[in-house]
Amino acid sequence: MSVPKGFKFVGIYCGIKKCKKDLAIAFSQTMCTACGMFTTNTVKAAPVIYDKEVLEQNPEGIRAVVVNSGNANACTGEEGAKNVVRMAKKVAEELGIEPQSVVVASTGVIGVQLPIEKIENGMQKAVSLLQDDPIQFAEAIMTTDTAIKLSYREVELKGKTVRILGIAKGSGMIHPNLATMLSFIFTDAKISHNALKKILKNSVDKSYNMIDVDRDTSTNDSVIVLANGMAQNEEIVEGTEQYCHFENAFDEVNIELARKIVEDGEGATKLIQVEVINASDEESAKKIARSVVSSNLVKTAIYGEDPNWGRIIAAAGYSGMVFDISKVDLHLSNGRKSITVFQNGKGVYFDEQIAKQILSSTKIFLKIDMNCGNSKATAWGCDLTEKYIQINGRYRT
């Protein structure tokens, strides 16, 4: 995997965690067009508040991203806000750039002040180790993640190769409308700010806003994209063929990252995909899919390998969308075998042994056919296990 031209990455241990990497920096050789989307939680961490302002004031002049893990810098008051500024200033000083060209992110425990001196000292070391390989950056932003999350695509635009690299973290506190997740997308595409902003919003709606682990929305959720233009392609603007090609590749990156997040859900053993088809409109399809994938009763039934279709239909019913239940069908699959358990609004006979084989797989596909239109949507989640409780019962201690 090559990386987008002009980007360098690093991840090191600076002393926030007990021993694992906890400080990451990404740097662009040139100014980037940038935009972001952030948590819908009313309680927002200091870096989220800071980044929203920076990206609004300097949308075409971002050069660097600095991230710490192990500490969320959320609910930390005036001192927390000052520490975000200190992080941006120190990185800028070490890189020889302006502080307003730096965005900052944090993830970890809420309500604890950052060990800012350790972070500042770490930045001096980190900047000297910047390299093309993004693996250490991906490692340094992890919290309860068990694996790094990377996605990469290339797209040809009128003879120019444009590269897109996505790096994410997330395992718990994952719910539609963003989650305890950070996602950074780096591309060497030349693209207008308006086009990038529109593509990001639409992509987030298809990916990160369609996943669930535990129905919790965090204080720190951020998705930030940087485009430095070093691919030297003709500028991507709305309404062009190049826009569509770039958008498709961009979506693929984010959907892959979103799936990796739920596959790595805290304590998870199974990926759940909920596909709603033939719905009356896209909004209905999305809300029904998200309602089912977010249901704790559905999650626990799938963990227990129990074909309890009633929980799935009930979750569709409380989605807030109105539909004719007498038209609805439900199919279960593992990609190899498939059965129908509900048809025309009522349960039907199915082979319990085949159902058990399907639900014992690590990937479970639920297809809900509304039979009332042409719209569709897909959501992703995971099962809910005893290990989830173990992980979160001792998260702070």
From first to last of its 397 residues, the chain has per-residue pLDDT tens of 689 999 999 999 999 999 999 999 999 999 999 999 998 778 899 999 999 999 999 999 999 999 999 999 999 999 999 999 999 999 999 999 999 999 999 998 889 999 999 999 999 999 999 999 999 999 999 988 889 999 999 999 999 999 999 999 976 544 444 445 799 999 999 999 999 999 999 999 899 888 876 555 556 778 999 999 999 999 999 999 999 999 999 999 999 999 898 888 777 899 999 999 999 999 999 999 999 998 989 999 999 999 999 999 999 999 999 999 999 999 999 999 999 999 999 999 999 999 999 999 999 999 999 999 999 999 998 888 887 777 666 655 5
Distances from the Cα of 377 to the Cαs of 236, 273, 287, 383, in angstroms? 27, 11, 9, 20
pLDDT of the residue at 175:
47
Report the pLDDT value the prediction gives residue 129, as an integer from 0 to 100.
Answer: 97
Can you give the pLDDT at residue 176? 47
124-151: burial string, b at 16+ Cβ within 10 Å, e else: eebbeebeeebebbbbbbbbbbeebbbb
Residue 371 phi, psi (nearest 5): 50, 40
Choose, from 39, 76, 107, 180, the residue flagged as catalytic. 180
Residue 43: the pLDDT is: 86
- Structural domain boundaries of the chain? 7-263, 271-393
So what's the pLDDT on residue 391? 65
Give the pLDDT score at 394.
60
Question: Does the active-site annotation cover 180?
Answer: yes
pLDDT at 174: 45
- How far is 37 from 48, CA to CA, in rounded Å? 9
Neighbouring residues of 396: CB distance < 8 A, sequence distance ≥ 6: 109
Fill in the amino acid letter for 55: L
To the question of domain 271-393 being in CATH 3.40.50.1370, the answer is no
The predicted model scores a pTM of 0.88
CA distances from 155 to 30, 150, 151, 192, 199 (A): 21, 17, 14, 17, 15
Q: Which CATH number fits domain 7-263: 2.50.20.10, 3.40.50.300, 3.60.70.12, 3.40.1280.10?
A: 3.60.70.12
**In terms of DSSP bridges, do strands 222-227 and 211-212 run parallel, antiparallel, or are they unpaired?**
unpaired
CA angle 217, 222, 223 (to 5 degrees): 125
Q: Can you give the pLDDT at residue 396?
A: 53
